[in-house]
Chain A
Amino acid sequence: MEAAAKTKVFGKPDTLTGVPYYYCPGCGHSLIHRLVCEVIDEFGMAGDTVAIFGVGCSCVSYPFFNLDWIYTLHGRAPAVATGFKRSMPDTLVFTYQGDGDLGSIGIAEIIHAAHRGEKFTTIFVNNANYGMTGGQMAPTTLEGQITTTTPEGRDPAHCGSPLKISEMLATIDGAKYVARQSVHDYKSLVATRKSIKKAFEVQLAGEGFSIVEILSQCPTNWKIEPVDSCAWIEENMMPVFPLGILKDESGG
Chain B
Amino acid sequence: MESELVSGNEALGYGAITAGCKYYFGYPITPQNEVPEFMSREMPKAGGIFVQAESEVAAINMIYGAACAGKRALITSSSTGISLMQEGISALAAAQLPCVVVNVMREGPGGGGIGPSQLDYLQATKGGGHGGYIKMVLAPSTVQEIFDLMQTSFYLADKYRLVILMLTDAILGQMLEPIEMKRIPEGDLPPKDWATTGHKNQREPRMIPILLKGYTPINYFQAYQDEAAELNSLLQKEELRFEETTTEDAEYLLVAYGSTARIARSAIEQARGEGIKVGMMRPITLFPFPYQRTKELVSAAGKTLVVEASGGQMIEDVRLAAEGQGDISFYGKVGTVFTPIDIYDEIVKLAS
On whether the beta carbons of A47 and B200 are closer than 8 Å, the reply is yes
CB of A50 closer than 8 Å to a CB of B: yes
A71 touches B88 (CB 8 A): no
Additional 17 contacts, C-beta under 8 A, given A47-B200, A68-B206, A73-B61 = A47-B202, A68-B198, A68-B199, A69-B196, A73-B91, A76-B57, A76-B61, A80-B61, A80-B62, A87-B49, A87-B69, A91-B197, A108-B55, A108-B57, A112-B53, A112-B58, A116-B51
Q: Which residues of A are at the interface with B, using a C-beta cutoff of 8 A? A: 46-50, 52, 62, 65-73, 76, 79-88, 91, 108-109, 111-112, 115-116
B318 — which chain A residues lie within 8 A by C-beta?
Answer: none
Q: Which of the 9-residue segments B147-155, B207-215, B242-250 touches chain A? A: B207-215
By the criterion CB–CB under 8 Å, are B53 and A84 in contact? Answer: no
5 tightest A-B CB contacts, nearest first: A83-B65, A83-B62, A79-B61, A84-B65, A112-B54
B25 within 8 A of A: yes
Q: Is B106 an interface residue (CB 8 A)?
A: no
Neighbouring A residues of B87 by C-beta, 8 Å? 73
- Across the interface, B51 reaches (CB within 8 A) one of A68, A70, A82, namely A82
Is B197's CB under 8 angstroms from A68's CB?
yes
Given A66-B205, A68-B199, A69-B208, verify A108-B58 contact (CB < 8 Å).
yes
Residues of B within 8 A of A (CB): 22-23, 25, 49, 51, 53-55, 57-59, 61-69, 71, 73, 87-88, 91, 196-202, 205-211
A-B contact pairs, 17 of them (CB 8 A): A47-B200, A52-B65, A66-B205, A70-B68, A72-B61, A72-B64, A76-B58, A79-B61, A79-B64, A83-B63, A83-B65, A83-B68, A85-B65, A86-B51, A88-B198, A108-B58, A111-B54
Q: A68-B207, A80-B62 are in contact. Are A46 and B23 (CB under 8 A)?
A: no
With A50-B198, A79-B58 as given contacts, are A71 and B65 in contact (CB-CB < 8 Å)? no
- Smallest CB–CB gap between A239 and chain B, Å? 33
- Residues of chain B within 8 A of A85, CB atoms compared: 65
Contacts of B68 in A (CB 8 A): 50, 70, 80, 83-84
Query: Judging by beta carbons under 8 Å apart, are B207 and A71 in contact?
Result: yes
Contact of A49 with B55 in the complex, beta carbons under 8 Å:
no
Q: How far is the CA of A191 from the CA of B129 in the complex (A)?
A: 44
Measured between beta carbons, the chain B residues less than 8 angstroms from A116 are 51
Tell me which residues across on chain A come within 8 A of B210, comparing CB atoms.
62, 71
Q: Which residues of B contact A47 (CB under 8 A)?
A: 198-202
Q: Which of A46, A50, A62, A67 has the most CB of B within 10 A?
A: A50
Q: Are A82 and B88 in contact (CB under 8 A)?
A: no
B62 touches A91 (CB 8 A): no
- Contact residues in A for B201 (Cβ distance below 8 Å): 46-47
CB-defined contacts of B196 to chain A, threshold 8 Å:
50, 68-70
A residues less than 8 Å from B62 (CB atoms): 79-80, 82-83, 86
| A87 and B71 in contact, given A50-B196, A69-B205 (Cβ under 8 angstroms) | yes
Q: How far is the CA of A72 from the CA of B199 in the complex (A)?
A: 19
- Whether B54 pairs with A109 at a CB distance below 8 angstroms is yes
Check if A83 sits within 8 Å of B205, measured CB to CB.
no
CB distance from A112 to the nearest CB of B (A): 4
With A69-B208, A71-B207, A71-B208 as known contacts, state yes or no: A83 contacts B198, CB within 8 Å.
no
Are the CB atoms of B207 and A108 closer together than 8 Å? no
Residues of B within 8 A of A49 (CB): 198
In the complex, the answer to whether A68 meets B205 with C-beta atoms within 8 Å is yes
